[in-house]
Structure 1
Amino acid sequence: MAISELKLPAGVQAHELRSPVLLAEGLALNVAEHLRVAIAARGTAVLVVSGGRSPVAFFQHLAKQALDWSKVLVTLADERWVPVEHADSNAGLLKRYLLQGPAANARFLSLYSASANLEEAAAHADRLLAELPGIDVLVLGMGDDGHTASLFPSSPNLVEALKPDGERRCWPMLAPSVPHQRLSMSRALLASARFTALSISGQSKLHTLNAALAGGDLAEMPIRAFLQPPLEIYWCP
């Protein structure tokens, strides 16, 4: 199966790259251009990215782009509720692979806080995100179960987090099979991005995307909430 065979909604673009390296490079070039346009239009740019192992090459390519990084605010679509020093911290991942060299001049907004519990941590992150001037660029990933950010099927707060008009910006979330409690931006906040990219690789992710496109139950596959323009999908075998 190729991504060109999928029935994508009108206005959703797909890019098929030959390798993970070319995907990371192409996505980084596109994201950097959108950030430049935002800086030129509004003086600042807000970039929201996803964590995990998949985006490392993208982060490394993006860090090399010619940008006025001092005018960029970077934050995460989701975070594990662990300190930045923890091996599974998405903030730690960004500091190692994106916020290096000139890109270290970017402002970083962390979702993690050493609160008494996950609910308090989510409330703290929610207050911080209230000051966000608006998301210019959002880069999402997708799991084989159809989750994106940390909006996992069957997570206790999923229905509320997926409300299109919800006022809350950050929710405490639980991954059914993956360790660590999570913090995740809400659908309403994520969907407000001016430009969204979905980055996936491999046939299994393509089959997941095909299944997501074939149905409408958001709780079953939360990625469905974001399969509409403005969206560009980047995929490689």
Structure 2
Amino acid sequence: MADLVRAATPLAAAAALLRGALEALPHPRLAVSGGSAAAVLGLARLALGPRWRRVRLTWVDERRVPFADPDSNRGEAYRLGYLDPADPPEAELPLYLDGESAEEACRRVEAGLDAAFDGGLDVLLLGLGEDGHSASLFPGRPWPPDRVHAVDASPKPPPGRMTLGRDLLAAAPAGILMASGAAKAPALARLLQGDPALPASGFRGLTIVTDLSGGHHG
């Protein structure tokens, strides 16, 4: 059962949870999404100080667009200052690099997960779409068992994406999921009810941070 934390300032609440989860591990393996989750990452990075240099970072999903494109999760995290080239983590594994084919990206990420992440993840930082999707795993679409796979016809633009697989994400022992705004309320209710059509249902150690009514204060 997911823990629900209601907060007037969900970004700050999620950043405090993320900092605590990362400080508890010597070399944490972290996977993050874009949007508000990237803002949480930026706050946690600053709060961690030198401990940030021990984090191994990858992304739960990425759009197959150039780094300079506004749709790039990783590109936007750097452009908005949430990540800083002068303050790198111990390791960073992008899911897509400019000019790669989907097949090349899959092979590189698979190798990187083994080489730098020991094949797994410790902490997730996720979002929740209005349709209930997390990462680029969409309700009503197949979720291949691969650790990373390409999405070629995403129902949400842009259509071409890379995503970590549900099995890999579900095996992480801790996760923080952001669900803010009234438009997310129906999806949040489904997630809390354990709707198996939602990819984040059943994730281990999941804490949902929301500004929606209900739940308890953390």
Q: Is the 8 A contact 2:176 2:207 kept in 1?
A: yes
List aligned pairs for 1:86-101, cutoff 5 A: 86-96=69-79, 97-100=81-84
Partner of 1:55: 37
2:160 is equivalent to residue 139 of structure 1? no
SS of the equivalent of 1:65 reads helix
2:88 is equivalent to residue 110 of structure 1? no
Query: Aligned partners of 2:140, 2:98: CA distance in 1, in Å?
Result: 26
Question: Per the alignment, do residues 103 and 232 of structure 1 end up closer, same or farther by CA in structure 2, a change over 3 Å counting?
Answer: farther
Q: Is the 8 A contact 1:63 1:102 kept in 2?
A: no
TM-score when normalising by structure 2: 0.84
Q: What is the count of residue pairs matched by the alignment?
A: 207
Query: Aligned partners of 2:196, 2:44: CA distance in 1, in Å?
Result: 34
Q: Which runs of 5+ in 2 are unaligned?
A: 213-218
Partner of 2:211: 236
Deviations for 1:143-170, whole angstroms, at most 9, x for unmatched residues? 1111110012344xx242xxxxx3x210
Query: Aligned partners of 1:102, 1:62: CA distance in 2, in Å?
Result: 16
SS of the equivalent of 1:223 reads coil
- Match among 203, 207, 215 for residue 186 of structure 2: 207
SS of the equivalent of 2:161 reads strand
Amino acid at match of 1:46: R
2:150 is equivalent to residue 172 of structure 1? yes
Identity %: 31
Moved more, 201-210 or 99-108: 99-108
SS of the equivalent of 1:124 reads helix
Larger RCO: Structure 1 or Structure 2 (Cα < 8 Å, ≥ 6 residues apart)?
2
Superposed CA RMSD = 2.2
Question: Per the alignment, do residues 13 and 212 of structure 1 end up closer, same or farther by CA in structure 2, a change over 3 Å counting?
Answer: closer
Question: Per the alignment, do residues 129 and 144 of structure 1 end up closer, same or farther by CA in structure 2, a change over 3 Å counting?
Answer: same
Q: Is the 8 A contact 2:32 2:38 kept in 1?
A: no
Amino acid at match of 1:118: A
